[in-house]
Structure 1
Amino acid sequence: MIRNYLDLEDGRLFYEVSGKGDPILLIHGNFNDHQIWNEQVDTFSAHYKIIRYDLRGYGLSSTPNSSFANVDDLKALIEHLKLHKVTLIGSSLGGGVAIDFALTYPHLVQALILASPSINGKLYPINMTWQGIKNYFNVRLNGHQKAIEAFITNHFWQYFFPSERKEEARKKVLDNVRKTSNFCRFSPNLSAAVKPYAISRLREINIPALIITSDQDHPYNIKTAENLHKSIELSSKVMMQNCGHLPFIEEPHEFNQLVLDFLSNT
């Protein structure tokens, strides 16, 4: 296993490489870091080269202090590792990054696997936007630890966390979210999305895509997955049962098998 940093002009990215074979990049979502994929790495690296990294502003990567683009960071990482055709697996915000990258550099992407993904340019419900703003200002007013606990106990965000019946999965998510390095470290305005926004360009994606959603996720996220499935011609969609926003932690064996089956047929 290789653990290292990629130095950028105005920051640095932490990344980890394990396994051999065709490359798969794992892209985490908001409030998480690369370790959210712990349940996937051993299984996938038995068949593929697995690269997971921390987006800028999360985990062990640097905190942005000027405008940046996740797509540019991902391109720099792929070039640094001398990769060619890659498969991207993205969770939530990471799914949005994967979609933007596939639209910007279609020649570099072989397949997409999108777990409860976002789509840049698709407006969030007003309440979801407001709750996100509250998280950011809670950090500034009360400090990271109090803001994180308020996030965890906020009724609105319960779709993000496994139920208390899934004790082990819930602990893994809570441990990851409780890292202050993963929570509202920078102003969201610094992260530049690709334009024109992906929401108007989804039909340009002509590679195989697997869209994985969950029955207990927020209705907006379920609808987003349906939008993707209708717009990407070569896509298939699976709804995992009794899971929230992070199904790959709640039911890792089922998730991993879905991904391996998809890749073997691609």
Structure 2
Amino acid sequence: MHGGPFGDHRIWDYQIDSLASKYKVICFDKRGHGKSDIPIDTFSHLEDLKSLMDALALRKITLIGSSAGGALAIDFALQYPAMVKDIVLVCPALNGYPYPSNFISEMVNIYVTGQSEGPETAIQKYISNPFYEYCFPSPNKADARDKVIEIVKESTNFIRWNPMWETELKPSSYERLGEIQLPVLIISADKDSEIILKIGEYIHEKINHSKKVTMKDCGHFPNVENPVDFNHIVLNFLNY
């Protein structure tokens, strides 16, 4: 599952073939992203995922989530634990976590810019903002950087709905992590945002028997920056 606010299923392009050699792989665009419909009222990414799994008759699956997709994987495992076999969290976010005010305000500013000046202006502001430097691979990783920027520049991925329409799990995952008894792999990256690194540590501390791996010389998308090592780490975990 991809993250947000600028993302879609293409963030996994470098994983699909590797994982599909041994497993059935399903990548989807969360509502309001990529090729999925735009929300027109209150909705739940959590229940959307449940509906997709029911439609495809899926049970006991591995959830792999990047950033906000990781937060969704955690929410789903708490709400529907019988449907999940294990979880891979890639530089995860966490719903209910007490994010610092600047983290929230920067995102609000991007959203407000999108509403007042249009998505293209907001996207450029996002790319050029030093605060979000951790999201973009360094220029010496040109292919990876181009890949991330290509996805971010897709205006259909921009927040095109009122963020207040998205409903979240209550009580939040931040308060309930200890309930998760499934195998969990947390993949962090040493050049990621300090707050995202702290979230990874917090999840690791709260979930019994979770495993944490830190990939070196990578930012927020290690699966794009170093797909060979990333795929090896994931496949090793799935073969436990």
User: Normalised by the size of structure 1, how large is the TM-score?
Assistant: 0.89
Q: 2:156 aligns with which of 160, 178, 181?
A: 181
- Report the Cα offset of residue 140 of structure 1: 1.2
1:127 aligns with 2:102: yes
Q: 2:214 aligns with which of 219, 227, 239?
A: 239
- Decide which structure has greater strand share: 1
* Structure 2 counterpart of 1:12: none
- Report the Cα offset of residue 234 of structure 1: 2.0
1:221 aligns with 2:196: yes
* Structure 1 counterpart of 2:3: 29
* Structure 1 counterpart of 2:80: 105
Please give the per-residue CA displacement for 1:119-148, whole angstroms capped at 9, x wherever unaligned: 111021111101100110111111111111
Conserved? CA contact 1:119–1:224, under 8 Å: yes
* CA distance in 2: counterparts of 1:82 and 1:179, whole angstroms: 31
Conserved? CA contact 1:89–1:113, under 8 Å: yes
1:115 aligns with 2:86: no
Please give the per-residue CA displacement for 1:161-196, whole angstroms capped at 9, x wherever unaligned: 001110000000000000001112112111111111
SS in 1 for 2:11: helix
1:60 aligns with 2:64: no
Conserved? CA contact 1:29–1:90, under 8 Å: yes
Q: Which runs of 5+ in 1 are unaligned?
A: 1-26
* CA distance in 1: counterparts of 2:74 and 2:238, whole angstroms: 18
Which aligned pairs between 1:70-89 and structure 2 lie closer than 5 A? 70-89=45-64
Q: Which runs of 5+ in 2 are unaligned?
A: none
Please give the per-residue CA displacement for 1:36-87, whole angstroms capped at 9, x wherever unaligned: 1100001000100000100001111011111111110000000100111100
Q: 1:160 aligns with which of 129, 135, 138?
A: 135
Please give the per-residue CA displacement for 1:90-144, whole angstroms capped at 9, x wherever unaligned: 0000000000000000000000000011111102111110110011011111111
SS in 2 for 1:185: coil
Q: 2:147 aligns with which of 162, 169, 172?
A: 172
Query: Match of 2:2, as an amino acid?
Result: H
1:195 aligns with 2:166: no
Identity of aligned residues (%): 43
Conserved? CA contact 1:135–1:184, under 8 Å: no
SS in 2 for 1:51: coil
State the superposition RMSD in angstroms.
Answer: 0.6
Count matched residues.
239
* CA distance in 1: counterparts of 2:12 and 2:161, whole angstroms: 23
1:136 aligns with 2:111: yes
